[in-house]
């Protein structure tokens, strides 16, 4: 509103000054036209007498030329000579009475218009021209002078009208700006009230009817509320799951300690390892949820897969790795989470496979998701076990070290970002085939 008020003042002030100058010039131009018409009539009526004096063949039509100090005057005098009323060559109007006009230099056959302050309290507007009359070689100066009282009164009246009009216009515009701001921001005040009701009255959505202009804002706000509710529900679910998962190991440790069991140390170590697995799993989920809420990431799949391959090669130097497919594919997942997902899958393929691991990136380029295939030549997983293997702690081969959380972390983190993971049998290598579908960046 302040910026609008400043602009209104600046534009009205600039427009008012421009309009004032235009109208003032127009009034002065009309006034000068009248003076020039009288000047032409004066020159047309002048005639040089045998004695060298200039007389008018017919009197000027305006009666004010005959009334002393009437405000309208004429004067005829030789050009370039001092003007005195005692000179026989000077022909003044009767309205000049005992005064003479002081003149400026002028050009022949060109009219000069200017203001004069010669008479006290009576500013004059003068039209002056030099001309040569018939039967005379003398250059005569013809002058018509008129008081500026009328023209100044017209200009003052125009300026008063302009000032009053522009002040009313400016105030009206400012009132309209205030009304527009008040009415235009009313929906935002209603949204503020709706948000306050969400905080104090237990509402969970903005349902009040609002203008079309703010509907996108309301929709985004409702989506944000839904997102926050979903995250809060996920947090409560994770907390409950973690509490439930830790409850049994803590009970076992507490019972062993109460009974002074001889294998207490082994029991504590075993149950502590179990609790550590559950904590790591839920921490991985919590990190993925937190990073997903920050914004949309863009992670190149090929870079992450190559980094994981180099790391796993140090653990399994005898395994042959082959990475093929797109070099430009990007997924909307944070790099750390993608590394963790691929790390679990590729490490499992190297650990349980027969020595060969194939990774194919963007195997289905026309799909709305980026699909990554991870194959090995191991024993695979029976079809009836492919669902339960994703459960926390589930392991088919207990003879090799592990926590049984790798696939559970892959599934949970992938689902947090809107992805999915499926298990099948590899047609090329005969082992396990993991199909990982992740949202494209």
> What is the DSSP secondary structure assignment for residue 357, as one 8-state letter?
E
Mean pLDDT of all residues in 288-300: 67
Q: Are 124 and 115 in contact (CB under 8 A)?
A: yes
Answer with the one of 275, 293, 311 that is the final residue of a domain. Answer: 293
Interval 407-432 mean pLDDT: 85
pLDDT greater than 70 at residue 398: no
Tokens in use for 307? Answer: 């980094």
Whether residue 396 is predicted with pLDDT greater than 50 in this model: the reply is: no
Same domain for 277 and 304? Answer: no
Q: CB neighbours (10 Å) of residue 278?
A: 21
Per-residue pLDDT band at 285 (split at 50, 70, 90): low
Q: How many helices (H) and strands (E) does the chain have?
A: 7, 14
Residues 257 and 362 in one domain: no
Domain contains 201: no
Domain count, the chain: 3
CB atoms within 10 A of CB 114: 13
Asked if residue 307 is part of any domain, the answer here is yes
Range of the structural domain that residue 265 is part of? 231-293
In-domain check, residue 192? no
The reply to whether 174 falls in a domain is no
Say whether both 108 and 84 belong to one domain: yes
Determine the average pLDDT of the residues in 374-388.
Answer: 85
Asked if residue 224 belongs to a domain, the reply is: no
184: in domain: no
Tokens of 424: 């099948």
**285 and 355 part of one domain:** no
The DSSP annotation for 164-190 comes to: HHHHHHHHHHHHHHHHHHHHHHHHHHH
Q: Based on the fold, state whether residues 37 and 151 are members of the same structural domain.
A: yes
The verdict on 310 and 429 lying in the same domain is yes
Quote the pLDDT of residue 288.
64
State the Cα–Cα distance between residues 353 and 52, nearest whole angstrom: 135
Last residue of a domain, one of 136, 155, 174: 155
The beta-strand segments (E) located in 253-352 are 299-300, 320-325, 330-331
Q: C-alpha angle with apex 193: 192 to 196, nearest 5 degrees?
A: 90
The 10s digit of each residue's pLDDT in 308-360 is 999 999 889 999 999 998 888 999 888 888 888 898 899 889 988 888 999 99
287 and 414 belong to one structural domain: no
Q: Residue 106 and residue 130: Cα distance in Å, rounded?
A: 7
Same domain, yes or no: 279 and 306: no
Q: Are residues 251 and 366 in the same domain?
A: no
Same domain, yes or no: 237 and 138: no
Contacts of 71 (CB under 8 A, 6+ apart): 64, 95, 122, 146, 147, 149
Region 383-402 average pLDDT = 59
Q: Which has more confidence, 158 or 202?
A: 158
Q: Has residue 167 been placed in a domain? A: no
Which pLDDT band, with edges at 50, 70 and 90, does 391 fall under?
Answer: low
Residues 137 and 6 in one domain: yes
Q: Please write the tens of the pLDDT for every residue from 91-141.
A: 888 888 888 888 888 777 789 999 888 888 889 999 999 888 887 778 888
How many Å is the maximal CA-CA distance in the chain? 157
Do the domain assignments include residue 415?
Answer: yes
CA–CA distance from 425 to each of 171, 309, 320, 370, 373 (Å)?
80, 22, 19, 20, 11
Comparison of pLDDT for 409 and 33, the residue scoring more: 33
Residues facing 433 on adjacent strands: 375, 424
Q: Can you give the CATH number for the domain in which 433 is found?
A: 3.30.565.10
Q: Determine the length of the chain.
A: 441
Q: Picking from 11-20, 64-73, 259-268, which range would have the lowest pLDDT averaged per residue? A: 259-268
Per-residue buried b or exposed e for 323-356, using 16+ beta carbons within 10 Å of the residue's own CB: bebbeebbbbbbbebbbbbbbbbbbbbbbbbeeb
What is the token pair recorded at 297?
Answer: 């990431």
Instruction: Single out the residue in 155, 185, 213 at which a domain terminates.
Output: 155
Q: What angle do CA 238, 243, 247 make, to 5 degrees?
A: 150
> What is the domain-level CATH number for residue 30?
3.30.450
């Amino acid at each position: 509103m302040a910026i609008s008020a400043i602009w209104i003042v600046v534009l009205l002030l600039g427009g008012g000054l421009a309009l004032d100058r235009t109208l003032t010039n127009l009034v002065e131009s009309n006034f000068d036209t009248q003076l020039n018409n009288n000047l032409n009539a004066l020159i047309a009526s002048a005639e040089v007498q045998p004695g060298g004096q200039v007389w008018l063949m017919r009197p000027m039509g305006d009666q004010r030329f005959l009334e002393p100090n009437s405000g309208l005057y004429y004067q005829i005098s030789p050009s370039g000579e001092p003007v005195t009323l005692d000179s026989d060559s000077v022909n003044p109007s009767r309205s000049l009475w005992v005064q003479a006009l002081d003149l400026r230099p002028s050009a022949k056959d060109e009219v000069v218009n200017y203001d004069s302050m010669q008479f006290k309290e009576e500013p004059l507007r003068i039209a002056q021209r030099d001309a040569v009359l018939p039967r005379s070689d003398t250059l005569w100066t013809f002058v018509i002078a008129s008081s500026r009282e009328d023209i100044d009164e017209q200009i003052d009246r125009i300026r008063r009208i302009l000032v009053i009009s522009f002040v009313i216009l400016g105030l009206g515009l400012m009132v309209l700006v205030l009304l527009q701001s008040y009415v235009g921001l009313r929906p935002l005040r209603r949204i503020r009230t709706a948000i306050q009701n969400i905080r104090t009255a237990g509402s969970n959505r903005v349902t009040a009817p609002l203008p079309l202009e703010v509907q996108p804002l309301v929709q985004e706000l409702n989506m944000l509320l839904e997102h926050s509710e979903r995250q809060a529900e996920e947090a409560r679910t994770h907390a409950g799951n973690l509490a439930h998962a830790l409850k049994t190991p803590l009970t076992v440790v507490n019972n062993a300690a109460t009974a002074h069991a001889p294998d207490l140390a082994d029991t504590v170590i075993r149950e502590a390892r179990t609790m550590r697995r559950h904590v790591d799993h839920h921490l991985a989920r919590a990190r993925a949820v937190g990073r997903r809420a920050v914004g949309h990431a863009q992670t190149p799949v090929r870079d992450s897969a190559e980094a994981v391959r180099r790391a796993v090669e140090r653990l399994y130097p005898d395994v042959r790795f082959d990475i093929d497919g797109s070099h430009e594919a990007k997924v909307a997942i944070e790099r750390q989470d993608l590394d963790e997902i691929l790390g679990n899958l590729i490490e499992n393929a190297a650990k349980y496979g027969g020595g060969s691991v194939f990774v194919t990136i963007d195997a289905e380029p026309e799909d709305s998701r980026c699909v990554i295939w991870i194959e090995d030549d191991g024993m695979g997983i029976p079809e009836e076990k492919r669902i339960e293997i994703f459960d926390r702690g589930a392991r088919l081969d207990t003879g090799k070290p592990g926590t049984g959380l790798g696939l559970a972390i892959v599934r949970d983190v992938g689902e947090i970002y809107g992805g999915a993971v499926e298990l099948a049998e590899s047609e090329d290598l005969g082992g396990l085939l993991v199909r990982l579908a992740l949202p494209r960046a």
